[in-house]
Amino acid sequence: MDEQTTRKTLIDKALEAAGWSPIVRYLHGASYDTAAVEEYETTEGPADYILFHRGDALGAVEAKKLSLGPQNVLSQAQRYARGFHGGRFSFHGFRLPFVYSTNGEIIWFQDLREQNSRSRQVASFHTPSALRELLSRDAATSSAWLRDHPIEEPFLRPYQRDAIASAEEALLEQSILARAFRGEFVSQDPDDEPARFLLERIPAEQEKANSSRGPRVGCPVGEKHRKTKET
Neighbours of 76 (CB within 10 A): 20
In whole angstroms, what is the distance from residue 22 CA to residue 34 CA?
A: 8
**For residue 11, pLDDT beyond 70:** yes
Longest pairwise C-alpha distance within the chain: 100
DSSP code of 146?
H
- The verdict on residue 230 lying in a domain is no
30 and 94 fall within a common domain: yes
Q: Quick one: DSSP state of residue 133?
A: H
The sign of the CA dihedral 192, 118, 163, 138 is negative
The answer to whether residues 62 and 76 touch, using CB atoms and an 8 Å cutoff, is yes
User: Which range (116-130, 175-189, 202-216) has the least confidence?
Assistant: 175-189
Which tens digits make up the pLDDT trace of 151-171?
666 666 777 767 776 665 555
pLDDT at position 198 over 70: no
Q: Are residues 75 and 151 in the same domain?
A: no
Question: What total number of domains does the chain contain?
Answer: 2
Instruction: Give the pLDDT confidence of 45-61 residue by residue, as tens digits.
Output: 999 999 999 999 999 99
Residue 68 included in any domain: yes
Domain endpoint, select from 137, 168, 200: 137
Q: CATH no. for residue 23?
A: 3.90.1570.30
Question: Please, what is the average pLDDT of the chain?
Answer: 78
pLDDT of 17 over the 50 cut: yes
Residue 226 in domain = no
- For residue 44, the Cα-to-chain-centroid distance in whole angstroms is 27
Contact 18, 130 (CB under 8 A): no
Q: What is the pLDDT of residues 29-41, one digit of tens each?
A: 899 999 999 999 9
Co-location of 125 and 155 in the same domain = no
Judge whether 62 and 48 are in contact, CB under 8 Å.
Answer: yes
The C-alpha atoms of residue 57 and residue 51 are separated, in whole angstroms, by 6
Q: Is 42 exposed, middle or buried (CB count within 10 Å of its CB: 0-12, 13-18, 19+)?
A: buried
220 in any annotated domain: no
* Secondary structure percentages of the chain, helix, strand, coil, to 5: 40, 20, 40
Residue 25 exposure: Cα atoms within 13 Å on the Cβ side:
2
Strands annotated E in the chain? 23-25, 35-42, 45-53, 56-63, 98-102, 107-111, 120-122
The predicted structure's pLDDT at residue 67: 81
Domain residues for the domain of 194 are 138-213
Q: Is the pTM of this model over 0.75?
A: no
Q: Which of residues 137, 170, 200 is at a domain's end?
A: 137
User: 99: how many CB neighbours lie within 10 A of its CB?
Assistant: 26
Claim to verify: residue 79 and residue 185 sit in the same structural domain? no
Q: What is the pLDDT of residue 118?
A: 87
> What is the model's pLDDT at position 224?
46
Q: Is residue 127 one of the residues assigned to a domain? A: yes
156 and 183 inside one domain: yes
Backbone angles phi, psi at 59, to 5 degrees: -160, 160
> What separation in angstroms does the CA of 220 have from each of 140, 216, 217?
55, 9, 9
